[in-house]
Amino acid sequence: MADESHLQPIIVKRINKVASGHHGGAWKVAYADFVTAMMAFFLLLWLVNVTTDEQKSGLADYFAPTTLSLSRSGAGGVLAGRTYAPAGARIGEGDPPTAIAEIGSSPAGPKVRDAVDLIAEREQAKFDAAQASLGAAMETNPEIAALRENVIIDMTPAGMR
């Protein structure tokens, strides 16, 4: 072998670089959101440029809030605390139908069946009056009079329909 004393040793330095962790793609999402917003903004500018004043007014009316209420009273419902009648709350025009039956009374006392029949007679009389009123109203209107033969007013178990 040859003289190895004058040869220099080969030194191999292996440096292990510790890379930082993966940063993810959050910047891509943010950039995509920004580009989308810029596109929408430029589309808006273009639309404002090409529309007429009449079209702009129509668009403004379309997006105008219509649900604002100037009234501060009530529950915020449909009527905002007001009633249909100008006089305020009212009691119905007739008394509600009542049936009185005394348990253990004499046979000459009122019967529940009689009260039910009386209520049915009253309801039938109201129905007949409403039917006659509707028929007379349809006969007086010339536009509806021709359609009168096609209208059926019928009593159902739930009431008039």
pLDDT tens for 121-153 read 888 898 899 888 888 888 888 888 888 888 887
Instruction: Tell me the per-residue pLDDT of 49-88, one tens digit each, with 9 for 90 and over.
Output: 999 999 989 888 888 877 665 555 555 566 655 666 656 5
Q: How many CB atoms lie within 10 A of CB 94?
A: 8
Q: What contacts 102, CB < 8 A, 6 or more positions away?
A: 109, 110
- Angstrom distance (rounded) from CA 64 to CA 66: 6
Cβ(81)–Cβ(89) under 8 Å?
no
Return the structure tokens found at 106: 């004499």
Distance between CA atoms of 69 and 47, rounded to whole angstroms?
32
Euclidean distance between CA atoms 161 and 144, whole angstroms: 18
Contacts of 119 (CB under 8 A, 6+ apart): 97, 99
